[in-house]
Amino acid sequence: MAYTYQSQMPDQQFLWDVFSRVDKDRSGFISADELQVALSNGTWSPFNPETVRLMIGMFDRENRGTVSFQDFGSLWKYVTDWQNCFRSFDRDNSGNIDQVELKTALTSFGYRLSDNLIEMLIRKFDRFGRGTILFDDFIQCCIVLYTLTSAFRQHDTDMDGVITIHYEQFLSMVFALKI
């Protein structure tokens, strides 16, 4: 996903202070539960556990289900970049993204999706049935969309937007994804 909302990496002391506060059990690693408590989606509701699991999976180099301090800086920068991205598309500063804002965001990422599919994404990632998605659900939506698109593109060798695969190929493709 190419967007231009890149933040700078904070200094190591700042990252260590944050890491130490988040690592409640002092294991030297941050678990999904610890990270969920530390993150804020801009509301009083907890950060989506599925989004946290996806992010841990992206930065967990040792497949332990945790993030080390070495990987924490990258995760911190990733969340910060997503916050900046989300804020830029939340045009009305409501703290959530509606259908029009989501279409604008995804179009700027290079996706050309129908209004029906955008509406389906809103329904899929709207945990509270309000017709909008929160920051953490926006991250999850974008990660899932990017992951599925990447898997599709591996089979779309002529880049025409059409693939022909057998059922087992489809299942293998989907079950191999980390989403």
Q: How far is CA 83 from the centre of its chain?
A: 11
Q: What is the pLDDT of residue 156?
A: 92
Q: What is the pLDDT of residue 97?
A: 95
Tokens of 147: 């992951």
Q: Where are the domains of the chain?
A: 12-176
Q: What is the pLDDT of residue 6?
A: 61
pLDDT means per 10 residues, the chain with 179 residues, are 58 87 92 85 76 88 88 88 92 93 94 95 94 93 90 91 93 84
Other CB atoms within a 10 A radius of the CB of residue 46 amount to: 13
Q: What is the pLDDT of residue 41?
A: 66
Q: What is the pLDDT of residue 76?
A: 87
Residue 68 belongs to what H/E stretch? strand 66-68
Classified by CATH at the fold level, domain 12-176 comes out as: Recoverin; domain 1 (1.10.238)
